[in-house]
Amino acid sequence: MKPFELFQCCSCAEAVELLSQYKNKAKIMAGGTALLNQMRQKYITPQNIIYLKNIPELNQIIWENDTLSIGAASSIRDLERNEIIQKEFNILAQAAHKLGGYQTRNLATVGGNLCNAAPSAELAPALLTLGGNLEIVGRHGKRRVLIEEFFLGPYRTVLQDDEILTEIRIPKGEARARGTYVKLGARNSMEMAIVSIAVLFALDLEKGIFQDFRLALGGVAPTPIRIKAAEEAAKNKIPSRDLIREIGQIASAQAKPKADLRASAEYRREMVKALTGRAITQTLKESGYEVEKEASH
């Protein structure tokens, strides 16, 4: 690795100040799992590293006023093990659990996962379904963006040179909402997703219909994406095999997968179809709803 100057910041203000001073010569580091690999490969050679992990407020997970605030430097493992997340935002805990290996989850951070902006960013689909928004701090103050607006393309985000991601906020959702995160890789762990799918919905038990249906995908487009057309199609409908198939088809049509060394575009498209259905069926099952009955008429 090329030498650099390391700044271990104690506050966001300090980090922003340094960032606006060094601009594109500096890189933000929290966990460093992706960054150090890029630096070792000399894909990037920053002269200054601004280290955020020691900033106390970036390491907090707070549940208050029906909003969950996750400090951007919280480790993936903090998310995975957080009781509130497990209970209220379980799909996020599921996604956190699927990221890399145990050691990586101890080191990698939620902010790093999002800011690295890989098309298959593990936490993004879950956060997209949860309606998360992000707090960004720069020299000119704070701003907030919806997670849907955060990603611009592969490994590109809306963050300006002097901005850092400080917090991920998730509003309390429908109490009965359940979700499933499904990830496909060749091995059973230590994988980058070929396809990942997050499905989140509540069932109106009286009417037996989908309420507030959310669907997001990873690994099948330049950025993680929410499939609003599929959400619309599902809304207020009775879950049936046909509907589930239709949702899968819409998702598959909306995906813009590319071939890479893990899979072809065509296979990814097919997997979106198959696994969206699987994620919905599994979520229904966990909600105590049997699709079979509905499909029989």
Partner 1 sequence: MKKQDNSYEIGKRRYGTDSIVKALGCADFLADIKLPQMLYGKILRSPLPHAQILNMDTSKAEQLPGVKAVITAKDTPGIRFRTYFDVPGNKLALENEKVRFVGDEIAAVAAIDEEIALEALDLIRVDYKELPAVYDPEEAMRPGAPQIHAEAANNISYYIKREFGSVEEGFKDSDYIFENRFETSAVSHGFLETVGCIAQFDLSSNLTVWLSTQNPFHLRRQLAYIANIPEARIKVKGLHIGGGFGGKTAMLPLEPICIFLARKSGKPVKIINTREEQLSTGRIRYPMTIELKTGVKKDGRLVARQARVITDNGAYDNKGASITTQGTCERFIQLYRVPNIQFEIHVVFTNKQWGDSFRGRGAPQGIFAIESQMDIIAEGLRMDPAELRLKNVNLPGEINPAGNRITSCALRECIEKVVAESGWKEKRGKRNNRGIGMACVIHTGGGAALYGRGNFSAALIRADQDGTFHLITGETDIGQGTNIMLSQIVAEVLRVPIERIKVAKADTDSMLPSLGTWGSRITYTAGNAVLAAARDLRQQLFWLASEMLGENIEKLDANEGKIFVRGQEGEKSVSVTETISEGIGKKGIPLMGKGYFEDKNVIPRDPRTGCGNPYPTWHFGCQAAEVEVDPETGKVAIVNLVAAHDLGRAINPMGAEGQIEGAVMQGTGCALFEELKWEKGRIVNPNFRDYKMPTFSDIFPIKTILVESEDPDGPFGAKGIGEAGIVPTTTAIVNAIYDAVGVRITSLPITPEKIFSALRRKACTQK
Partner 2 sequence: MIQARLRINSETYDIPIEPQETLLDVLREKLGLTGTKKGCETGECGACTVLIDGKAFNSCLVLAATVQGREILTIEGIGRAEKLHPLQAAFIERGAIQCGFCTPGMIITAKSLVDEGQERSREEILESMSGNLCRCTGYIKIIEAIMSVIEKTK
Residues in the site for partner 1, rule: CB under 8 A? Answer: 1-2, 184, 186-190, 192, 261-264, 267, 270-271, 274-275, 278
Residue 289 interacting entry, from partner 2, partner 1, none, C-beta within 5 to 8 Å by type: none
Are the CB atoms for 21 and 15 separated by under 8 Å? no
Q: Which residues pair with 191 in a beta bridge?
A: none
Residue 175 interacting entry, from partner 2, partner 1, none, C-beta within 5 to 8 Å by type: none
Q: Could you say which of 12, 22, 51, 89 contacts partner 2 (CB under 8 A)?
A: 51
How far are the Cα atoms of 69, 83, 168, 175, 257 from residue 61, in angstroms, in the given order?
Answer: 6, 11, 9, 20, 34
Pick the closer one to partner 2 by CB: 50 or 247: 50
How far are the Cα atoms of 1, 35, 135 from residue 167, in angstroms, in the given order?
Answer: 30, 20, 5
Pick the closer one to partner 2 by CB: 115 or 134: 115
Listed ranges 134-142, 146-154, 171-179, 182-190: which one lies at the site for partner 2 (CB under 8 A) = 182-190
User: Is residue 106 near partner 2 by the rule CB under 8 A?
Assistant: yes
The torsion defined by the Cα of 239, 283, 86 and 169, in degrees rounded to 10, comes to -40
Q: How far is the CB of 90 from partner 2 (least distance, A)?
A: 17
Q: How far is the CB of 222 from partner 2 (least distance, A)?
A: 24
How far are the Cα atoms of 17, 82, 112, 242, 257 from residue 164, in angstroms, in the given order?
Answer: 11, 24, 11, 44, 29
Pick the closer one to partner 2 by CB: 185 or 277: 185
Name the nearest CA neighbour of 177 among 142, 151, 214: 214
Q: How far is the CB of 211 from partner 2 (least distance, A)?
A: 33
Q: How big, in percent rounded to 5, are the helix, strand and coil portions of the chain? A: 40, 25, 35
Rg of the Cα atoms in the chain? 20
Q: Could you say which of 66, 83, 102, 259 contacts partner 2 (CB under 8 A)?
A: 102
Q: Kind of pairing, strands 48-51 and 5-8? A: parallel
Q: Could you say which of 100, 119, 179, 218 contacts partner 2 (CB under 8 A)?
A: 100
The torsion defined by the Cα of 44, 261, 258 and 201, in degrees rounded to 10, comes to -90
Pick the closer one to partner 1 by CB: 175 or 261: 261
Pick the closer one to partner 1 by CB: 250 or 271: 271
Pick the closer one to partner 2 by CB: 33 or 281: 33
Q: Could you say which of 24, 103, 236, 264 contacts partner 2 (CB under 8 A)?
A: 103
